[in-house]
Structure formats: structure tokens, C-alpha cells
Amino acid sequence: MWTAFTLAAIAYVLLSAVKSKREVLRSGWNLPQEFIWSNFATAWNVGRLGDYFLNSVMVVGGSVFAILLVSTPAAYVLARAKFPGREAVTNLFVLGMGIPIPMLFIPIFGILSYLRMTDSLTGLSLVFIAISIPVTIYLLTGFFASLPSELESAAVLEGCNDFQVFWHVMLPMAMPGVLTALILNLIWLWNEYQLSLVILNSPDNRTLPLGLYSLQNAMQYTGDWPGMFAGVTIVIIPTIIAYALLSEKMIAGMTMGAVK
């Protein structure tokens, strides 16, 4: 039922994005009499979604790369290495997952103000990285823990050091899990709104969700609902494409992480 509702909502947005103003208000679910592709140009240029799209690509792309760069080896160590305090470190990441993000707004803003990084895409990216690392490490720890140890032992017997075992043996086996973490972080950060609203002030630094909200406020006064729906389409299409291309790997990764 939820899937059907979601697909229906997406279909309505896509249809409305290529209609005229009159058709959006009158024709409902009917196909447009004429496909008006200029609605996307209006949202992209007049609504400045092109600039905000680039901001989101830089922030989200850099953040996801850094999150995986830190979380993947950390999760491998927590899952496979034996050292004092390992459980305490793991529980610390679990504790980080349980803190509601709104409770962190004031501390985050205070830290960024001290570092003079408020209203900064770099500051927003650092916050994304810090908040996403605990859940990503916890997720990937389950994936690495589910991998068989025979190949790891064989690689050690062949003379591989710890890094070679991780890079050449364990990481390729855990790639479905890494892709799962990539998709989940990508979807969440691409659509993240609250932190961006708290940290960013100037119009030039807006990400796509903030830009879409600004576009919606402008379009409701001009009555350009097709332009607003075109803006929504621009925001959701990248994550839909990413999920469609990587969904099989994501499902395989989640299944692998669940079986220990």
C-alpha cells in the first residue's frame, strides 16, 4: 500500500511538472495536452536550482566520500580485530546514533561559530560527516562481521599484511554493504533540510532542499505550480536513478549484513 501511494505521488509530480498552469489546477491525473518542458528551465534558472544543485553535489558528494573513507576501515577493525575496549567503542557509536539531531542544533551552531564556519558549505559538510559516521560504522561492522574468515586467514598465510588483507580480500567481499551505506547516506544527505536551514543563511549557499523551499514560497505567489513541481522533480530524480541502478546491490548488502 505504501509503495503504491509513493509511486502515485511521484507520478502526479512528474505529470504536473510538464503541464500548463491551467492544466495543473483542472486536469488532475490527465495526461497533458502539450508537454511544457520550459517549466524545468524556469525552475533551473529563475529558481536558481541549477546553482543549488551544484552546491548539493559538492556537499553531498564530498561528505559521502569522506564518510565511507573513515567508516569502512574503522568498521573492519571493530568487526575483525581483537583489542581491549572494542565493545566500549562499538557501544559509543551506538550511543551516538541514539541522540536526536535537533538536540545538537545549538552545540553544532556554537562550534561552527567558534570556527567561523557558519553559513559555509564546508561547515555543513563537516557536520554531515560527523553525524553520519556513527550509524555508517555500525552498519558496516555488521557486514564485515558476517564475512567468512577463511580467506582472511589464507591471505595472512600468504604473507599479506593487515592493509593488504583489508584492501584486496575483505573490502571486495564487503562491497555490497559499502554500496548500501553509500545509497543510504546519499539519499539522506541529498534530502536533508533541518541542518542546512540552521547552518546556511545566504541564498548563494543554499542546497537543493532549501532552494526548493524558497522556490515553493515564490511560486505560490505567482501561481506557477508547474514550475514548483518541476523543481521537485529535479530534486528527487537523482536519488531515484541512484536507487534504481544500485538497488540489487543494496538488497544483497542488507541480506549479507543480517546473516552472521
Please give the pLDDT value at position 132.
95
Distance, CA of 164 to CA of 143 (rounded, Å): 19
Q: What's the pLDDT band for 107 if we cut at 50, 70, 90?
A: very high
Say if residue 174 is exposed, middle or buried (CB neighbours under 10 Å; 0-12, 13-18, 19+).
buried
Name the residue with higher pLDDT: 240 or 57: 57
Residue 104 DSSP code: G
Mean local confidence (pLDDT), 112-139 = 95
Domains in the chain, start-ordered, CATH in brackets?
39-258 (1.10.3720.10)
Residue 194, phi then psi, degrees to nearest 5 = -65, -50
Residue 244 confidence (pLDDT) above 50: yes
pTM here? 0.88
